[in-house]
Amino acid sequence: MKILVTAGPTREPIDPVRFLTNRSSGKMGYELAAAFAHAGHSVLLISGPTALDVPDGVDYMPVETAEDMHRAVSHHIGRMEVAVFAAAVADYAPKELAPEKIKKTGETMTLELVRTPDILGSARGAMGFEGTLVGFAAETQNLVENAKDKLERKGCDLVIANDVSKPGIGFDSDHNEVLLVFADHTEPLPLGSKHDLAHTLVRRITELTC
């Protein structure tokens, strides 16, 4: 099957030397891309900036901002059978990019932010994607309710929910513990390495698609 995976953080520039970003290392998405490729699928990994090597056998498209990721996903998703959104996309970006390095002036400064495109949220509608759609939910409270809400609002077949307030899992860790949220049931997966979890997730996502 043809699989699209998004991974990593996005970087939203403030001026030529500063940006807004988050703690995503890309490990979860890269392990998923590697596990899909290992299972014999054709994988396109669209990733924000990370320090990771591109897994063997995976096509790779680097992007920087949420806007770039949105453009890349919109361009490629039409030929995919499965799309898995593991990236931690910035929800807001600076309204304006300062052309020069911003100088220190007053004691405080205000940065005006604007919403970025909701890439997962536009997969079904604007992008017309009809394949298997898998989102992640990174939550610090009400994990199940928030993940179910994302599943319904974004038209996902599966949401992989992680409680990112728990130490040792989630952002920038080698381990994760997730709850699979389907339309009619939920299923917890035990704490384990992102490597092992990715292989389990590939099996579960592939079953959904058959």
Question: Residues 6 or more apart from 97 whose CB is under 8 A from it?
Answer: 13, 14, 15
- Among 133, 138, 179, 198, which residue interacts with ligand PMT (rule: CB under 6 A)? 138
Residue 149 touching ligand PMT (CB under 6 A): no
Over the window 81 to 110, marking each residue x when it contacts ligand PMT by CB under 6 A and - when it does not, the resulting string is ----xxxxx-x-------------------
What is d(CA 88, CA 22) in angstroms, rounded to the nearest whole number?
Answer: 7
User: Which residues in the 20-39 window bind ligand PMT by CB under 6 A?
Assistant: 24-28
Q: Which stretch, 13-21, 54-62, 80-88, 125-133, contacts ligand PMT (CB under 6 A)?
A: 80-88
- Among 3, 19, 170, 205, which residue interacts with ligand PMT (rule: CB under 6 A)? 170
**Helix-, strand-, coil-residue percentages of the chain, each rounded to 5:** 30, 30, 45
What is d(CA 81, CA 79) in angstroms, rounded to the nearest whole number?
Answer: 7
Phi, psi of 4 (to 5 degrees): -110, 130
What is d(CA 196, CA 40) in angstroms, rounded to the nearest whole number?
Answer: 17
Active site residue 22: yes
Q: Active-site residue among 22, 142, 146, 162? A: 22
What is d(CA 121, CA 191) in angstroms, rounded to the nearest whole number?
Answer: 28
- To ligand PMT, the closest distance from the beta carbon of 200 in angstroms equals 14
- CA-nearest of 152, 154, 10, 181 to 83 is 154
- Among 135, 158, 163, 198, which residue interacts with ligand PMT (rule: CB under 6 A)? 135
Q: Which stretch, 13-21, 79-87, 104-112, 196-204, contacts ligand PMT (CB under 6 A)?
A: 79-87
Catalytic residues: 22
Q: Which residues bind ligand PMT (CB under 6 A)?
A: 6, 24-28, 66, 85-89, 91, 116, 118-120, 135-138, 150, 162, 164, 170-172
